[in-house]
Amino acid sequence: MYLKGLIVGIATFLLIGIFHPIVIKAEYYFTKKVWPVFLVCGIVFLAVSLFISNVSLSCISAVCGITWLWGIGELFEQEERVRKGWFPKNPKREYPKEANTANAEYGKN
């Protein structure tokens, strides 16, 4: 029996689950400006995956790298979720004043 695919699948599932709160906390404490850290981590994990001879570990490293890179987009989307009120704002941080876009949209045809 070959378990490599199952192992990589479980690891992928766990990485996605782990990164959800990482993105939320990173945006909460550091804002989206932390995205370069996500970029560097993603590139490092992808580069490391090229030099690992074990197929399962190489795949898991690559999945981790892609997850870091995917997290960059999620950071920007998380900021939008916070703006919409779906997630709490950090009370220690100043947020830009929001223009009243609802009234502006009614004037458009």
Distances from the Cα of 71 to the Cαs of 33, 86, 99, in angstroms?
Answer: 12, 18, 28
Q: What are 15's two structure tokens?
A: 């990485």
Using the 8-state DSSP alphabet, how is residue 59 labeled?
H
pLDDT digits (tens, 9 = 90+) for 48-104: 999 999 999 999 999 999 999 999 999 999 999 999 999 999 998 888 776 555 555
Rounded Cα–Cα distance for residues 109 and 98 (Å)? 23
Amino acid 18: pLDDT: 96
The structure's pTM equals 0.83
Average pLDDT of the residues in 12-20 = 96
Please provide the size of the chain in residues: 109
- In the predicted structure, residue 107 carries a pLDDT above the cut 60: no
Check if the beta carbon of residue 71 is closer than 8 Å to that of residue 38: yes
Ordered by start, the domain boundaries in the chain are 4-86
